Chains A and B, each alone.
Chain A
Amino acid sequence: MDILERNLELRERQRLEGHTDRVWSLAWNPAAGVSGIPAMLASCSGDKTVRIWQQDPSGSWDCLAVLEDTHTRTVRSCAWSPSGKLLATASFDAATAVWEHIGGDFECVATLEGHENEVKSVSWNASGSLLATCSRDKTVWIWEVQPGNEFECVSVLQGHTQDVKMVQWHPFLDVLVSVSYDNSVKIWAEDGDSDDWHCVQTLNEASSGHTSTVWAVSFSSNGDRMVTCSDDLTLKIWDTSSNPSETSDSNCGSWRHLCTISGYHDRTIFSVNWSREGVIASGAADDAIRLFLESKDNSVDAPSYKLLSKKEKAHDMDVNSVQWNPKEPGVLASASDDGTIKIWELLEVPR
């Protein structure tokens, strides 16, 4: 039966408490959660700490570690390296810290400094050889991972006219996407011959893009689509018919606007995440989580995404982050201004 015909509901499995301020962002450890290795989740908060949560054999979640005394201001974003051994954390204190999981401990092994002010997001590329950060200083920095936990800045990308809210690498290509307070989405790639990075495409209002701050971006698992969410209360799906790394010399990339999902959230949409199974989750300032799936049954021309499920009052306050567990289909984590993290399970319920 078509999944859209089924009655699916997000059921709360556990509420994780411990942060003493709003929780901004979450990251699932990509190397955990299979073959006996317990699932692991990192969360970061306005309380200046990062918490690591681990699932015990009974399925219950506990706080394994609290990473503190390094960042002096809000920790805005966190990201695991593909191997799951390193965790990068970006803070309003203008620094990005890198933590190594050694034994049962997390040790700060590097601090990346250079941004003028608040760092808002951090992302590892697919191979774990590059790290990208972005800031209120309007720039995006690309760092190369060197032996011995050294990080060298290889490029400072300028192009956004306002603070950059989030950076995200393509799931397998060295193509970077940044989204901004200037309402635009930018695609960055490396020049074939010189080692220079440059902007290959800008998706703005003129390209059917957003009309207010773009807060987040997420790729589909095969990398040929991405979804962005915005203060303009919409989600937008972008499609690349050709390989996104194959861009011409002129400033025209291969991404085009596919469709806009609107009318579902009535306050700013802060977070969006595309699952491996194709379900798009969105979390917003209306305290709700919504799930969308591409509808295959319609006519040939216009692809469309339908509401699969909704959870009103998912949290008591704004939902800042929604992240699908990459290893366990249907398991979603959410973080909120109410200081809690929730683990959800997408279940079929009788009508």
Chain B
Amino acid sequence: MVTGLINANPIVYERKARQVRSAPTNIDEYADEPIDQQEIFDHIRDIKDPEHPYSLEELKVVTEDSIEVNDKQSYVRVTFTPTVEHCSMATVIGLCLRVKLMRSLPSRYKVDVRIAPGTHATEAAVNKQLNDKERVAAALENPNLSEMVNECLAPTFA
């Protein structure tokens, strides 16, 4: 059992001001607006870190640049950076990102979530687990884990 915090003193960064979306040039309000980096970032920036009262944005676990999106191909990849190399919360953070995107994006979307290369001791193992949908489905049926994920996601639905 972990007694202390894994990263007791994380660096907290300032949150970026919310960007006001540029006024649409297209007057037709029913026209499809492609999903972009900023929209994806808005979905995930307020996810709470599993062990700190800060958001993933404040801890720079995710940034706008860590998101690759191709709306035409319905594809998004989020690359996140754990605060410490041995962060045992990496899997939970990844799970939160995946679940949030699953719930927010149209079902046509394919989502990949991975750890930034070189930022975690067991990078390959965590990536494999996060992208195995059977493991993800089973994890979400685990009441403790599911509660933890929902707690972290709560601020994003505020």
What is the interface of chain A, defined by CB distance below 8 A to chain B?
22, 46, 73-74, 76, 92, 117-118, 120, 136, 163, 165, 181, 212-213, 231, 267, 285-286, 316-318, 337-338
Contacts and interface: CB of A to CB of B under 8 A. Distances in A.
Interface in B111-153: 128, 131-135, 137-138, 141
B110 A74 contact: no
Nearest to A317: B107
B62 to A, nearest CB: 23
B128 A74 contact: no
B91 to A, nearest CB: 15
Contact of B134 (A73, A120, A267): A120
A213 B133 contact: no
Interface in B35-83: none
Q: Give 8 closest A-B pairs by Cβ, nearest first.
A: A73-B141, A118-B138, A92-B138, A317-B107, A92-B141, A74-B137, A46-B137, A74-B141
A318 B141 contact: no
Interface of A is mostly: loop
Contacts of A316: 107-108
A318 B137 contact: no
A165 B134 contact: yes
Nearest to A92: B138
Given A73-B141, A92-B141, A136-B138, A181 B132 contact: yes
Contacts of B133: 285, 318
A317 B109 CA distance: 8
11 contacts: A22-B137, A73-B141, A74-B137, A76-B134, A92-B137, A118-B138, A120-B134, A136-B138, A212-B128, A286-B110, A316-B107
Contacts of A212: 128
A193 B98 CA distance: 51
Contacts of B138: 74, 92, 117-118, 136
Given A181-B132, A337-B107, 8 more contacts: A46-B137, A74-B138, A117-B138, A213-B128, A231-B131, A267-B110, A317-B107, A338-B107
B76 to A, nearest CB: 13
A231 B110 CA distance: 15
Contacts of B141: 73-74, 92
A209 B155 CA distance: 45
Contacts of B135: 136, 163, 181
A213 B132 contact: yes
A48 to B, nearest CB: 9
A21 to B, nearest CB: 9
A199 to B, nearest CB: 23
A318 B136 CA distance: 15
Contacts of A338: 107
A231 B112 CA distance: 13
A50 B48 CA distance: 37
A118 B132 CA distance: 14
Nearest to B107: A317
